[in-house]
Chains A and B, each alone.
Chain A
Amino acid sequence: MRRPIDLTSARPGVFAEKAFVWLCRLGAAIPLTMLAWLLYRVAAAGVHRLSWSFLTDPPSQLDASAAGLGPALMGTLWLIVLTATIALPIGIGAAIYLEEYSRRSKLAGLLELAIANLAGVPSIVYGMLGLGLFVHALAMGETVIAGALTLALLILPIIITSAREALRTVKDSLREAALGLGATRWQCTRQVVLPMALPGILTGAILAIARAIGETAPLVVVGAVAFILYGPDGVDAKYTALPMQIFQWTSNPKRAFLDNAAAGILVLMTTLLVINGVAIWLRNRYQSRRS
């Protein structure tokens, strides 16, 4: 039996086919095994440190068992509220401009290029921008607001991109109907497009905020301090943040501090999981209502 058309002179047999499928499975399995190993190790090392006082106490440089995350959690809360307040209006505004006002204009092309470029800039370079611009040129010093502004710029491309995708899911026929009824461009956007796109925009915004919570490198650069006993009491206060505290504990040679780092990671990962869960729930609810 000879096949009329042969793709190769030496055909791989059934064995090669099967081996390749297994290889592909391995490609997915290895990184996920690493993830499982990582989660297990972190939980095993850190879970015994979790307690209410661990979440509320100030850190300690001498006694690991008395050290807590209090100021770090407060710092992260401040950062996140400020970052969201700064980044969300600007990011969503930019997305509305690109999708509803300037489709296919020359400026839009330039803006798109800038956004694509910004999305690829390493986070530490945003830290350098924050250090040169906010901390020194604008003389804000190493304050919560300087950190929040830096993180806001960092997540801006993510918010813009996801908000644009959400706006794009709104059907053009709805826009045409609104404009045909005599609505102005803004009335159409405000009353027809935005309400429909809102769940999608929120999902993207939540995921962007989650990204900001875990960022460490830019905060090290803009001067989040490693050791502080109190949470911030204003936008111009010194501060630390959850990932900063984990970093400091990880750098400490004493075993007990490493366990604190693991417990801190558990808190961080749980927070991120809950946030991502909310985002996914929002997306699913929205999709099922739509279809």
Chain B
Amino acid sequence: MSDETATMAAPAVGRAALHTPTRGRAARWYERLIELGLAGCGMTSIVVTIGIVVILAHESKDFFAHVGLGEFLGSTKWTPIIGDHHSYGVWPLLSATLTTAAIALAVAIPLGLLAAIYLSEYAAPRTRKIIKPALELLAGVPTIVFGYFAITTLTPALRDYIPGLSGGNLLSAGLMMGVMIVPLVASLSEDAIYAVPQSLREAAAGLGGGAFEAIRKVIVPSAWSGIAAAITLAASRAIGETMIVAIAAGNEARFGFDPRQPGQTATAYIVDISKGETPHGSVAYQTIFAVAAMLFVMTLIMNVISHRLSRRLRAAARA
């Protein structure tokens, strides 16, 4: 009877206690086993990190042994598969990657920053409640959708205003990417601006400055490391973005920074090769790993910088 009431009062504890040993050697072993299992789950993230480095290095080592870093980073001709004379200079892919990323940042940084300032300093709570989820919705749109929109709508619209704009071009891919990244910049910058102590705002107001002056001279400068972290992360995202450029940038590996021209980014090259047959160990197979290794190093550097900057922000907020 007493047993039954105990089960009724606290069913979860009562039931589970039956099959989980609490005392004795069995219990200690059971606990050890669980902890080991959980630690194993935790270790996956380190294993995956090492796995990425090992796989990229292993699959591209033949390529770099054959071509050499000098040609890879020094030449502006990328004809790894087509034609008689193969040339393995990565600059055509790099120039398109840098151009689209620069355009994307030129869109995303000002818009994202202004949106962040609006949300944290000006917007009424009710407006905030609409705009924040709407930006989250934008952030959740799969990149393939932006690619579709860029090629079917944005490029034709831009062609009315920009003569000589080619059907696939770096400009509309970059612009689309910028719109895609705005929510990231806005949300991270808003966090940084929100973390600025209220006392600084009050001090600025007490000195007789208006809201604009407070934002320009006090709030944005003190949130700067967080905003810089957001921008670096946005740059890393732009460099690694794939489907928009694979669809809308034209897929032509040519060296140049003219946004009206077609181009092929590092990511778009990988997609282009992967769409066809790429036998394991073939030259095409090796090149995509070499390009991916470069991509990984570039984004890793930016992620580390961003991580450092945001840690500095957190340290400053605590101080």
Contact = CB atoms under 8 A, between A and B. Distances in A.
B115 A125 contact: no
Interface of B: 12-13, 16-17, 20, 22, 27, 30-31, 34-35, 37-46, 48-49, 51-52, 55-56, 58-59, 110-119, 121-123, 131, 134-135, 137-138, 140-149, 151-153, 179, 182-183, 186, 204, 207-213, 215, 217, 233, 236-237, 239-243, 246-247, 267, 270-271, 274-275, 280, 288-289, 292, 295-296, 299-300, 302-304, 306-307
Most buried by A among B122, B152, B239, B295: B152
A13 to B, nearest CB: 9
Given A117-B303, A187-B20, A243-B142, A129 B51 contact: yes
Given A41-B149, A217-B242, 18 more contacts: A8-B213, A16-B212, A21-B118, A24-B117, A28-B115, A31-B182, A32-B134, A34-B179, A35-B141, A38-B146, A93-B42, A117-B300, A122-B237, A132-B289, A186-B20, A190-B16, A191-B12, A243-B144
Interface in A98-119: 98, 101-102, 107, 110-111, 114-118
Interface of A: 3, 5-8, 11-12, 16-17, 20-21, 23-28, 30-32, 34-35, 37-38, 41-42, 45, 89-94, 96-98, 101-102, 107, 110-111, 114-118, 120-129, 131-133, 136-137, 153, 156-157, 160, 182-187, 190-191, 195, 210-211, 213-217, 220-221, 223, 226, 243, 246-247, 250-251, 258, 261-262, 265, 268-269, 272, 276
Contacts of A25: 118, 122
Contact of B49 (A118, A123, A247): A118
A186 B34 contact: yes
A158 to B, nearest CB: 12
Contacts of A122: 236-237, 239-242, 267, 295-296, 299
A31 B111 contact: yes
5 closest A-B pairs by beta carbon, nearest first, are A122-B240, A27-B114, A214-B142, A93-B41, A24-B118
Nearest to A34: B179
A116 B303 CA distance: 8
Given A16-B212, A28-B115, A221-B270, A35 B142 contact: no
B142 A268 contact: yes
Contact of A124 (B44, B144, B209, B295): B295
B141 A38 contact: yes
30 contacts: A7-B207, A7-B217, A16-B212, A24-B121, A28-B135, A28-B186, A32-B131, A90-B41, A92-B41, A94-B42, A94-B44, A97-B39, A114-B46, A117-B307, A118-B48, A120-B306, A124-B292, A125-B52, A127-B274, A128-B56, A129-B52, A129-B55, A156-B48, A214-B145, A216-B143, A216-B243, A217-B267, A250-B148, A262-B148, A265-B144
